[in-house]
Structure 1
């Protein structure tokens, strides 16, 4: 890959989602990402469900444009190899619980001593300090504590988890922003720094509007289905066949669906009134929409320049012409054979070009990295192997068969 981050080397010690998404994003932008895995690999490799030749779909989703190097940091020789990589790298990223990196001998104080220019990025659950510091956390618990689950779902219904892992994705994006900001600052100061981004903090940041809404009104925000807090009509509406998703285009929506009389109804005459009577307005719109299919209504809405779109399922998304025009569906040739279909990166830049690489199998690049970057002789490689401090890909077939 060539891109704005070409020449930046990232060492990623990560599992599951937030860390892998952050490092993958930097890899998409041209960074060299070396995924440092323990002997058993990233835990997402072991998740059950759909797979490609034994490689978990969860792992495949978030690990393209990376090299897999297996080092056991619990061994002296494995740790020394990691330290050698730190000396020639720019970023060390991890999404472990607080204190784990220190126990591995890889805390910021240690790494800074090896390389004063290193940027250490820690993606934690509840944060590096505070009363919740040592609690285990995943995206659903962060979504619960941050209030995301309290505003997601249908009015009066049970809390609903957003389809995508919003808290993890938010954490990853803020981590990328923090990393790039730190690298930019390093250009001025000549030194790196320690960065912390928490799952909880990123989740609360995504609740910015709801928090301000509450502060200004004293009203506790509630779930609105697919609606939006300050405008109606808005959201997904059922038609004769399928759903349409409508944006804020009142009163043109009323005219387009042949229900212009709604604009004269006192319940819907003002924006404030429509919010108060949102449920009644939605019901009236759906009464009109059942007269035609989603496809037929969309032709009408587009002709009137009304903000509208279809509600597509994943099988429809992957063949959507605009989605593919934006290069958002990638077919990557996998080292085990065949191709892997993954979602692309939405960033388009003049300086960004190159071929994406498929997610690596466990230990696929250990030999290459230790030889080409660290110039380790064969004798040292044999020693690492004999001490089980490094894995050169020999156990990957065994691991896949066990799954």
Structure 2
């Protein structure tokens, strides 16, 4: 499906790493013109993040599709003027530079509003606008640790662990995009722009809403449960004779069907197994006894039995198996597209369909500076002016028609 709901919206992304690039990619997926403003001498650091194939960071590809890249040294007076003109032409500016860095370069909210009263300005930080840590640098894993996620993750007999995904970054990007949609709707009614603030910490606190509220209500701090879940037992990865299966039984009816499936119906009558609250109190005993039973089956045997019994379950898939999984393939969300360097590239479409169709894949992440000349030309700069800025190292430009 060709997305055009934001086709008349210009977004200036002054962002690095994952959170802001991902949020702006969502806007680009919905048709916005996203112009990624990058620094001279290398651009977004994510361009050099592993894994790198054929000189291209796959991580960068994952979060920067459908964008244009311009390279401007806006600390230079001439570059600052170029960025001012670009901002004046925009609907949205999104940035996640070091706190205060953009303002120090002459682009605080007051100045941005002078340049463009209808501008929507999104400022993303690590720890928020105020507080003792508001100037501290932050990455996803730091906020997992700071918000209590790391303390809850891992096995009780091992060290705490992070979730090995950029969950805080990506979900902050989602909130960013949602905020822009709301701000655009508000601007339609008021004609005025707005200053939006999001942070990794605020997103992290949203992730821990339920356990945080439980502790505030007097419950003990959650212990590390490995693959388990504090709300019900059984819920987690259970061993088979050749691997693991993830299963869950959220009520007694499902639990009894599970016991029948693993040929252990007698456990229903044992002390500590009678209902979910009892099983939660006796978590280790219940999990140990169930593990003894599930270990008698191969993974395929147990998956088949749980399917027949109607017990929620999943294979513990590795990513290579995910790519070839029949259910994943049936959804059609992962598509193979041609890439000028990597040839066939698997791309994960935005996780939403409209009338059964995914948003259209319109292009890859841009080569550094590939759109500098065209974008500056659209602002009215003459070719001679652009050449002079390139010569003075105020801007950088790459050959057009190359995608990273």
- TM-score, normalised by the number of residues in structure 1: 0.93
The answer on whether the counterparts of 1:256 and 1:300 sit within 8 Å (CA) in structure 2 is: yes
CA–CA distance in structure 1, aligned partners of residues 126 and 212 of structure 2? 21
Tell me if the contact between 2:333 and 2:351 (Cα under 8 Å) persists in the aligned partners: yes
In structure 1, the gaps of 5 or more residues are: none
Pick the aligned partner of 2:370 from 355, 364, 371.
Answer: 364
Instruction: For residues 163-189 of structure 1, give each alpha carbon's deviation from its aligned partner in whole angstroms, at most 9, with x where no partner exists.
Output: 112221222122122222111111111
Q: How does 1:55-94 map to 2 (within 5 A)?
A: 55-94=56-95
Q: CA deviation at 1:266?
A: 1.4
**Structure 2 runs not aligned, ≥5 long:** none
Deviation at 1:254, TM superposition (A): 1.0
Deviation at 1:380, TM superposition (A): 1.7
Q: State the match for 1:224 in structure 2.
A: 225
With over 3 angstroms needed to count, the CA separation of the structure-2 counterparts of 1:334 and 1:80, relative to structure 1, is: farther
Inter-partner Cα distance in structure 2 for 1:308 and 1:66: 39
Task: Please point out which of 335, 349, 356 is paired with 2:354.
Answer: 349
Partner of 2:376, secondary structure, is: helix
Equivalent residues of 1:326, 1:346 under 8 A apart: no
Taking the aligned partners of 2:323 and 2:84, their CA distance within structure 1 comes to 42
| Aligned equivalents of 2:314, 2:246: Cα separation in 1 | 5
| Whole-Å separation in 1 of the counterparts to 2:335 and 2:125 | 30
Across the aligned residues of Structure 1 and Structure 2, the Cα RMSD in angstroms comes to 2.1
* Equivalent in the alignment of 1:377: 382
Q: Distance in 1 between matches of 2:122 and 2:290?
A: 49
What SS is found at the alignment partner of 1:309? Answer: strand
Give 2:32's aligned residue.
31
Distance in 1 (alpha carbons) for counterparts of 2:269 and 2:241? 26
Shift of 1:106: 2.0
1:352 to partner: Cα distance: 6.0
Secondary structure of the residue aligned to 1:10 is: strand
Could you say what secondary structure the match of 2:363 adopts? coil
- Is the 1:334–1:359 Cα contact (8 Å) retained in structure 2? no
How far residue 333 of structure 1 moved from its aligned partner, in angstroms, is 2.7
| Aligned twin of 1:46 | 48
Give the Cα separation in 1 of the matches to 2:241 and 2:133.
49
Counterpart position of 1:208: 209
Q: Is 1:302 matched with 2:307? A: yes
Cα distance per residue 1:272-293 (max 9 Å; x no partner): 1100111111111121112222
Contact 2:29-2:350 within 8 A present in 1 as well? yes
2:260 corresponds to 1:255: yes
Distance 1:58 1:215 in 2: 38
> In structure 2, do the counterparts of structure 1 residues 297 and 352 end up closer, same or farther at CA, with 3 Å as the change threshold?
closer
* Superposition misfits of 4+ residues, deviation over 6 angstroms: none
What's the CA shift for 1:337? 5.4
Contact residue 349 and residue 359 of structure 2 kept, 8 A:
no
1:195 partner SS:
strand
Per the TM alignment, residue 295 of structure 1 is displaced from its structure 2 partner at its CA by 1.8
**Equivalent residues, number:** 396
Equivalent residue for 1:8?
Answer: 9
Distance 1:300 1:218, change over 3 A: closer
Structure 2 distance, partners of 1:146, 1:157, is 20
Distance in 2 of aligned mates of 1:22 and 1:123: 10
